[in-house]
Amino acid sequence: MDIINIYTDGACSKNPGPGAYAAILLYKDNEKIISGYKEWTTNQEMEISAVLNALKSIKNKEIAINLYSDSKYALDGMMFWMHDWAKKQWKKDIKHKQIWQEIYILYNTLKINCIWVKGHSNNLYNEQCDKIAKNLIKDNKQ
């Protein structure tokens, strides 16, 4: 079975403040970078925005996905919390509810394996995502 590896990271200056996210998608010999910037946000919102936008870019619903993140918030949300929120019909006051609802739909239509990586531990693609996100913040401050 084909596998796509996705690395994600989010960053925020002053939290809340200007923020950005980045995702690197690796499939066979191809590499795709997805990134975005938001003027006023939080680190958590950027972490899950990276996940959401990476998953939205997957066209082949049959492909296996290894999703690597250094955000326990993003991974715990995907593997545990959002399923409880959905069972309770999203009635609880949930930060970033709309993003979580979109991730939930994608999570249930894709084959995703969530993998935690330690941040700033010399993981090549995690470090690249971190650098891209931080550079987006820096570039938009000027």
Question: Catalytic site residues?
Answer: 9-10, 47, 70, 120, 130
Q: What angle do CA 99, 102, 105 make, to 5 degrees?
A: 150
Q: Which residues pair with 90 in a beta bridge?
A: none
Using alpha carbons, select from 81, 116, 115 the residue that is nearest to residue 101. 81
CA atoms within 13 A on the CB side of 87: 5
CA 18 to chain centre: 17
To which residue do tokens 């894709």 refer?
110
Sequence-separated (6 or more) residues with CB below 8 Å from residue 115: 66, 67, 68, 69
